[in-house]
Structure 1
């Protein structure tokens, strides 16, 4: 029986009790193997800052991100058997960073045999090394894969909810030590680049339109620089609401209408790629879900250390134009929101997009 190995990585301070979209996605996966002839193997990894000796450091500065990535990598190595097995990676916020980094690590070092996982930290360090010789197609990486009999799989599905910053950590201004922080910390943990790796088949990214926190600027996906041997699809779709609305972050807001729509979209894409869920009806009923407005910029004095900053919707990468398909439901947000609700947001990102769309 073929295997679908599905790894779900949650955002900062997020646990199953918070019921984020990553957890809802994970919890709704059907494990009934009789449904489609696939064996489903699932793993859920809570966000940083939820355990360990230094949870506050994990939450604020990303302490423990390496362990999260390595643990997920080892989980895949233990369960991957053959080339027809599928690997699925799902993440929110910093968990989205971890999912994308994990994809990069696998492309760099491959998958170790499950009886040789003592080398997993060495594999991660090789991936993090930024010298030219350690890049995937260069001598150190090739030698590591050959010496350790690593296999090179494909990532069938990469689904991310609002990847932010280089690591989802604050991009502090210079007067708060930002330059020093980035030099010391992001040199170790920042993205090598934001392009998809050639081993990714299908990538999906749900992005918040209205979040204005400067240190939560989105890290967009781009097509692989090295042309893959297979067709690579990428959908990046913008949703109304804040970072937490797209990822389902708010504690106690289990029936958040905005979060439901981004989850519905991601589950729909997963179904189209073959995944089976316990409940195939993930539609958002207005009777069961409620609009919740929460200005994330005002949620902490820390965020106010930097001015509001609108996000920017770039041109579609395929057409090199602004297209309505970049917006969820082609921008028909009034199908489930009122004009008054949409006008509550201070961000002008949507207005700026429509201006550019109409001018082209």
Structure 2
């Protein structure tokens, strides 16, 4: 006899809602079993996988496996073909659609009305997560068993992203009608917000929480799909709750942040809760993937051999962690702690929908708050500098790409606008190690301000707001008026100072 909580015929109002948790790792990233694991693996490790009402899915990054690889034990030629395929995939994300569809299929198989969907991602995995969340909301979640229809649902969403719903008036209306008809015919029609009733835009399935670590949109197949580099899409309609941790100090042109085009009025009207917060460090310093410094080497001076080796070899941690609690904390642990804290705060408001954690989460939090200074002062990486963490070959490759006229979206100052305004513009000029543009009103994490204060002589980020104005983050005094505190949060650390570990500040 089936358990009542899993019986599809039980009244959804009486059934305990399940949590479907999906985790998408970054390009080339997979489980390592040491401090080189990304925040996606570390987050997955802290979930309570014994909870019968919480289902889990982890997907290694683009380029880590051959989608059409077949047997693991390949012939010599088969191994070469698979290696070439994975290398191309790493560079251009040619299997992006397969990664999205795999996550969509998992949700389609296990979702029941009333369940809560949590999706997390890092780098291109974050873009996969965001794409999947928007696809579910716009096209719909197919009824269980209709898996042959998944490619058609994906194709419809591609057309939506291509602009068919906003182009020629007659054609756009025809496409919107087709999209709505597909959703009503094949997909589930739950009420997203009971207060809004059966309005067409309120029927379907919507992701409960979307958490991203430094989302980037370097996906070649999508570039060709829309005929140009895709512009940052509106965040409205992505998820009920969105959290995005963004790196201040990433300079590579192929890692431009896929920022959320936030419209406060639309966001408020839709009832969505959105936070996009900036952290110090490069791409991996926010999403993880770099090895933590060894405790014995933190204060020690680098030997000449370590310096030479660092030029030619990418930093890795070859040893699996026997006692993770003894590992040294690094910069990427700060965004991870922030993301966990945001999930906890949401869980306090709605206990039935809260993620269930394993005891390892509390262990991580306890040790993090005890040794957070390690993370604050941890070395920052740079893939564009020798001895910055990457091998000499990769440093040369990334610097070469900085000289190419690669198209991307940047913030451009509108000279004729009054008051001061910025708009996204499609550029095709060499990046030359250019900084990421930080929009007016951006939210800054407390760890960023601490590094600006405590390392003022060495940490001087030149990020501005897309024009030739002075850097936005360089100021003489902490309270000079460049930002305002919008939320204070000690993260349950009673010994923290009044500023709080996870306090957020708004850039003026």
TM-score, scaled relative to structure 1: 0.82
Which one of the candidate residues 180, 184, 187 is aligned to 1:146?
A: 184
For residue 168 of structure 1, what is the aligned residue in structure 2?
A: 218
In structure 2, C-alpha distance between the alignment counterparts of 1:101 and 1:135, rounded to whole Å: 23
Q: 1:30 offset after TM fit, Å?
A: 1.6
Do the aligned residues in 2 keep the contact of 1:12 with 1:94 (CA within 8 Å)?
A: yes
In structure 1, C-alpha distance between the alignment counterparts of 2:268 and 2:152, rounded to whole Å: 26
Q: 1:334 offset after TM fit, Å?
A: 4.2
Q: Do residues 297 (structure 1) and 315 (structure 2) align?
A: no
Greater Rg by CA: 2
In structure 1, C-alpha distance between the alignment counterparts of 2:57 and 2:222, rounded to whole Å: 33
For residue 353 of structure 1, what is the aligned residue in structure 2?
A: 472
In structure 2, C-alpha distance between the alignment counterparts of 1:95 and 1:161, rounded to whole Å: 9
For residue 329 of structure 1, what is the aligned residue in structure 2?
A: 446
Secondary structure at 2:433's aligned position in 1?
coil
In structure 1, C-alpha distance between the alignment counterparts of 2:229 and 2:54, rounded to whole Å: 31
Number of residues of Structure 1 aligned to a counterpart in Structure 2:
331
Q: 1:141 offset after TM fit, Å?
A: 0.8
Distance 1:211 1:156, change over 3 A: same
CA deviation map 1:144-187 (0-9, x unaligned): 112214331121111110112xx235xxxxxxxxxxx7896353
In structure 2, C-alpha distance between the alignment counterparts of 1:136 and 1:241, rounded to whole Å: 46
Q: 1:214 offset after TM fit, Å?
A: 2.2
Distance 1:67 1:183, change over 3 A: closer
Do the aligned residues in 1 keep the contact of 2:222 with 2:230 (CA within 8 Å)?
A: no
For residue 356 of structure 2, what is the aligned residue in structure 1?
A: 276
In structure 2, C-alpha distance between the alignment counterparts of 1:67 and 1:7, rounded to whole Å: 15
Which one of the candidate residues 96, 99, 108 is aligned to 1:77?
A: 108
Secondary structure at 1:235's aligned position in 2?
strand
Q: 1:188 offset after TM fit, Å?
A: 7.2
Distance 1:60 1:256, change over 3 A: farther
Q: 1:257 offset after TM fit, Å?
A: 1.5
- Stretches of structure 2 lacking an aligned partner (at least 5 in a row): 1-15, 67-81, 166-170, 190-203, 292-315, 318-326, 348-354, 403-431, 465-469, 476-480, 484-507
Which one of the candidate residues 225, 237, 241 is aligned to 2:281?
A: 241
Of 279-288 and 149-158, the range deviating more from structure 2: 279-288
For residue 62 of structure 1, what is the aligned residue in structure 2?
A: 93
Distance 1:77 1:136, change over 3 A: farther
For residue 44 of structure 2, what is the aligned residue in structure 1?
A: 26
CA deviation map 1:20-74 (0-9, x unaligned): 00111111112343xxxx8111100110110003110111101111100000001
For residue 494 of structure 2, what is the aligned residue in structure 1?
A: none
Q: 1:280 offset after TM fit, Å?
A: 2.4
Do the aligned residues in 2 keep the contact of 1:258 with 1:291 (CA within 8 Å)?
A: yes
For residue 336 of structure 2, what is the aligned residue in structure 1?
A: 263
For residue 214 of structure 1, what is the aligned residue in structure 2?
A: 253
- Stretches of structure 1 lacking an aligned partner (at least 5 in a row): 170-180, 317-321
In structure 2, C-alpha distance between the alignment counterparts of 1:185 and 1:249, rounded to whole Å: 29
In structure 2, C-alpha distance between the alignment counterparts of 1:209 and 1:193, rounded to whole Å: 18
Do the aligned residues in 2 keep the contact of 1:93 with 1:247 (CA within 8 Å)?
A: yes
Superposition pairs of residues 69-148 of structure 1, within 5 angstroms = 69-82=100-113, 84-129=114-159, 130=162, 131-132=164-165, 138-148=176-186
For residue 3 of structure 2, what is the aligned residue in structure 1?
A: none
Q: Do residues 43 (structure 1) and 48 (structure 2) align?
A: no
Do the aligned residues in 1 keep the contact of 2:126 with 2:213 (CA within 8 Å)?
A: yes
In structure 1, C-alpha distance between the alignment counterparts of 2:187 and 2:256, rounded to whole Å: 39
Q: Do residues 158 (structure 1) and 210 (structure 2) align?
A: yes
In structure 2, C-alpha distance between the alignment counterparts of 1:191 and 1:102, rounded to whole Å: 16
For residue 319 of structure 1, what is the aligned residue in structure 2?
A: none
Cα RMSD (Å): 3.1
In structure 2, C-alpha distance between the alignment counterparts of 1:40 and 1:281, rounded to whole Å: 21
Q: 1:108 offset after TM fit, Å?
A: 1.9
Q: 1:238 offset after TM fit, Å?
A: 0.8
In structure 2, C-alpha distance between the alignment counterparts of 1:161 and 1:311, rounded to whole Å: 15
In structure 1, C-alpha distance between the alignment counterparts of 2:173 and 2:345, rounded to whole Å: 33
TM-score, scaled relative to structure 2: 0.59
For residue 438 of structure 2, what is the aligned residue in structure 1?
A: 313
